[in-house]
Each structure stands twice: as structure tokens, then as C-alpha cells.
Amino acid sequence: MSTKVGERVLPTGRARRPSASEPGTRKNRGTQQQGKATPWLFLAPYLLLFGSFVIIPAVLGVWISLHSWDYTLPNKPFVGLDNYIALFSPGSTVFGPFWGSMRATGIFTVLSVPLLLIVPLAVALLMSRKFPGRDFLRAIYFAPYVLGVAVISVLWRYLLDNNIGLVNHYLGLLGLPDDTAWTTSTPAAWVALVGVTVWWTLGFNAVIYLAGLQDIPIELYEAARVDGAGPWMQFLNVTLPGLKPILSFITIITLLASANMFGQSYLMTQGGPGRETRTAIYQIADTGLRNFQMGSAAAMSYVLTIFLMAISAFVFYIFREKQPKKEVRS
């Protein structure tokens, strides 16, 4: 492992306490006089966990993916890249299910991410100015998120039941079709999965947006107003640029969360109808931990990971800072 990386100064560390003391002493303030072992003693318990359950598995996963690794069989022969090749060979048994699940993850991500970026932003904008009861409303929007995926999925499977569910009942009252099979037919199942996910995590994203909105100096809006900018121009020229760092953060975590969707599909649609809403994570978990084809499942997880990292890198690229980095708030 190279120590060169260690020498690099992180941007977060740089902007701290810019003029607190004269140069030279800053480096030593509160940092001198400690045994060489001291920092490592502090780090040891965490690094033990981190090494055992993050670093080792990340490497072990590659090893597993290069073997025909069936958990239930004593022999786990080395097969090189065969597991990966099979994933890309249209004739193989894993090709159809894997890419079908990647397609399902793709559909869910493409449908849910824009909604999860735009709707919470709209809610946050409505909440950005103080009014009585604002904290109360913020808490209500956030509440579904604390319930967890199992509770919300079981709950919504009930609300979306075709015969006795609340959703179809109210649609009927509005004169709309009241017999939609929300969890057993597509495209209705996608509407259900995406809608429930938006309900579940809207508050989470809105809260992050709200914090970002409050960091935009009010003077910028006043200056824009003096220049004759209407609300829409203010949004485009003040709000969006001010939210840029937050936007890139929310885009990435929302993308990753959507691409990792599992519980909603497992509990609400059981991956159905057929395998249509069976996501990549669902497929990987089932292949590796239900059928114990771990070599193949590990290979799938790396293929998915490469996709996700490429998309994350692309998002970072789009949102990259062009102007010099602003001071980090503490």
C-alpha cells in the first residue's frame, strides 16, 4: 500500500480555521506529543470491524467470483472469468434472469430518480420560508422514512390490494377504474413501486434540500430582485447554483438507493408478475443466498457495481466544481 496517498491533503481539512493562528503553529496545535501507537489504538476497534466486514469481503468477493462456488458443495473449482463470461453469453442459463433483473432495476431507477429529485425539491421550496407549523409538517413528511422498508411494503400491499384496498376504493369513488392489479400486473406494479418509494423517501431528500436552501445567503435573492428577476429567474440563477453541491449529493445517494431497491419488490410484488419487477439485488441475493450459486452471484454483484460506479462518476463529472472551491461550513 502506498503512502503517497496518505500525504495528500483532503479538501475538507484545508478550509478549516482559515486565520485562527499564525502559520507554523497551526499544524502543531493539539496535534503534537503523542506516542506513535496512540492513533492506531484509537483506530483499532473500528479497523478490526472495517477490515473484517468491508475490506476483506470486498476482496474475497472477487476471489469467489472466479470460482464455481456452490456453498453446499465441498469442491469449489477455479473457473477464471467463466462466471463473468456466462453473464454476457446470450445462450447461458444466467443471461436471461440477470439482464432481466438489470432491466427491472433500470426501469425502477429511471422512473424513480427524477421524481425523487424534483418532488422533494418542490416541497422544500414551499417550506423554505418560515411559517407556523413548518417543523411539524417537515416531521410528517419525514415520518414514513423512519418506518423501514418492511413495514411500508406490507402496509402498501394491503392498501393496493385489488379487491379490498383503499387505493382502488378511492379511485372507484372518483369514477376511475377500481380494479387495477397494482402488485400483480405491469405497468401498474411499476407505478405502485415507484409511488410507494416516493412516499417513503420524499421526506429524507426534502430535509437535505431544505438544509441546502437555508445555506443560500438571502442577500443573493435580494440582489436578484433588485435586478428585476422574477421568482423563476431567481430559482434558475440563485437557487439552483446555490444547491449545486447538495444536488450532486442527493443525485448520487438517490441513484444508489434506487439501484439497490430490494424490499419493496420482495414484499409487494414478490418480483412479479413473472420476474418483471425482480431487481438486480433481488436476483443476486436469490442466486447467492437462496440457491447458493455464490460464484455467479458475486460476478453479478461486480457487474452491477461497475455500472453504478460509472453512473456515479458521470454524475460527479456533470456536477464538478468549475469555480474555486468554496469554504466548507462547519
Partner 1 sequence: MSTLTTTPSVGSRARRARGRSSTIARVVVLGAIAIAFISPIVFMIVTSLKTRSDATAVPPSWIPNPVSLQAFASILAPGTATPVLQWFANSMVAAALNATLVVITASLAAYPLARMQFRGKNFVFVIIVATLLVPPVILVIPNYLIVSELGWLNSLAAIIIPTAASAFGVFFMRQFFVGLPIELEEAARLDGANRFVIFMQVVLPLAKPALATLALLAFLGNWNDFLWPVYVLFSPEVQTLPAGLSTLQSANAVRYDLLMAGAVVASVPVLALFIFLQRFIIEGVSRSGVKG
Those residues with Cβ within 8 angstroms of residue 301's Cβ, 6 or more apart along the chain or in another chain:
61, 65, 284, 288
CA separation for the pair 294, 246 (Å, rounded) = 37
3-class DSSP state of 276: coil
**Closer residue to partner 1 in complex, CB, 85/150:** 150
Minimum Å gap between C-beta 150 and partner 1 is 3
**Closer residue to partner 1 in complex, CB, 115/285:** 285
Minimum Å gap between C-beta 258 and partner 1 is 12
Q: How far is CA 93 from CA 97, 154, 222, in A?
A: 8, 32, 62
Query: What DSSP line would sit under 69-109, residue for residue?
Result: -BTTSS---B-TTHHHHHHT-TTSTTHHHHHHHHHHHHHHH
Minimum Å gap between C-beta 80 and partner 1 is 18
Judge whether 190 and 184 are in contact, CB under 8 Å: no
Minimum Å gap between C-beta 87 and partner 1 is 15
**Closer residue to partner 1 in complex, CB, 91/314:** 314
Minimum Å gap between C-beta 111 and partner 1 is 20
Minimum Å gap between C-beta 95 and partner 1 is 19
**Closer residue to partner 1 in complex, CB, 193/304:** 304
State phi, psi for 67 to the nearest 5 degrees. Answer: -125, 155
Judge whether 279 and 265 are in contact, CB under 8 Å: yes
Judge whether 40 and 34 are in contact, CB under 8 Å: no
**Closer residue to partner 1 in complex, CB, 163/323:** 163
Tell me which residue of 128, 254, 260, 145 sits closest to 203, measured CA to CA.
145
**Closer residue to partner 1 in complex, CB, 89/305:** 305
